[in-house]
Amino acid sequence: MKVADGRKLTLVIPALNEAENLVLLFPRFKQVVSRLQKQNIEVELLLVNDGSTDSTAEVARQNGAVVISHPFNLGVCAALHSGFLYARQKKSDFLITVDADGQHNPEDIVNLIDEFLRRKVDVLIGSRFLQETGYKKNACRFFGIRLFSLLVYSLTKLKIYDVTSGFRVFGERAIRFLAVNFPQDYPDAEILILLSKSGYRIEEFALSMNPRMFGRSQHNFKTAVTYPFKNMIAIIVVLLRTLFHKQRMEA
């Protein structure tokens, strides 16, 4: 099946000290680019280097990617926001976010776009938990994901099983909206609440994912403890923003 004739895709890869993983991932990304080009879809690989101290940026440039480098580590929200701003500037029809640690299979990008187009949604999330895929769950982290899934549902009636998945495809409308309204702290549940409350259609698609290949995750005991509290504050801010936005629109 053709993916999308004559359309543009920006593949956004936020990265912090992921050179060892990217050496293995970029050949796979380039194979996907080649497949999509045969279907007349233009793909741009964008690596957002969020203050890395290793050769992350150099590896990306050597593999033909566009690189945006932050002067120091600004966090995943800032890295993703840079990607959305770039995609809006380039007038991309799609934007896909994919992790740089090897958890997401680049080969699934084509299926994700194809399913996105078939469903005619604004956002499609690659989900580890929509059905059994063999993904090994960390008990504490899985409990937190389920908790925020319930919170998202209670606020939006949107049933999403994998609210923290970073493997997502966004359409043009969502790209333009998030380029202006991107959350400032945690992008997981907040993005879903913000988009849902603003009338965008969001669904999930089951995909298999992997453990991190090399390196250390940014998630540790400290972040595991503080994440739920900070996320709750960020969600409250998002709800207030959407409320004020609706009031302005109705005024």
Task: Tell me the pLDDT tens digit for each residue of 173-205.
Answer: 999 999 999 988 767 888 999 999 899 999 999
3-state class (DSSP) for residue 186: coil
Q: What contacts 24+ positions apart, CB below 8 Å, involve 158-163?
A: 158/192, 158/196, 158/202, 160/125, 160/127, 160/192, 160/202, 160/204, 161/127, 161/129, 161/130, 161/204, 162/125, 162/126, 162/127, 162/128, 162/129, 162/130, 162/204, 163/188, 163/189, 163/192
| This prediction's pTM | 0.85
% of the chain exceeding 70 in pLDDT: 79
Start-to-end CA distance of the chain, whole Å, equals 46
Instruction: State the alpha helices, DSSP H only, in 131-220.
Output: 139-156, 172-181, 189-197
Residues facing residue 192 across a β-bridge? none
The segment with the largest mean pLDDT, out of 119-123, 143-147, 154-158, 209-213, is 119-123
Q: Which residue has the higher pLDDT, 215 or 86?
A: 86
By mean pLDDT, which of 19-33, 54-68, 141-155, 200-214 is the weakest?
141-155
Q: Give the pLDDT score at 190.
A: 86
Alpha-carbon span 123 to 119, nearest angstrom: 10
Facing residues of 9 across strands? 43, 94
What φ, ψ does residue 38 adopt, rounded to 5°?
Answer: -65, -20
Asked whether residue 83 carries a pLDDT value surpassing 90, the answer given is yes
225 pLDDT above the threshold of 70: no
In angstroms, the CA 245 to CA 165 distance is 27
Structure tokens at 163: 């609210």
**pLDDT for the residue numbered 223:** 55
Please compute the mean of the pLDDT values over residues 209-236 and round it to a whole number. Answer: 65
Q: Is a pLDDT exceeding 80 seen at residue 221?
A: no
Q: Measure the CA–CA gap between 160 and 146, rounded to whole angstroms.
A: 9
How far apart are alpha carbons 203 and 208 in whole angstroms? 16
Tell me how crowded residue 65 is: count the other CB atoms within 10 A of its CB: 21
* Of 12-21, 77-86, 112-121, 150-159, minimum mean pLDDT range: 150-159
Which domains does the chain carry? Answer: 7-250 (3.90.550.10)
pLDDT at position 6:
79
**How far is 202 from 62, CA to CA, in rounded Å?**
35
Joined together, the tokens standing for residue 127 give: 């989900």
pLDDT of residue 98: 97
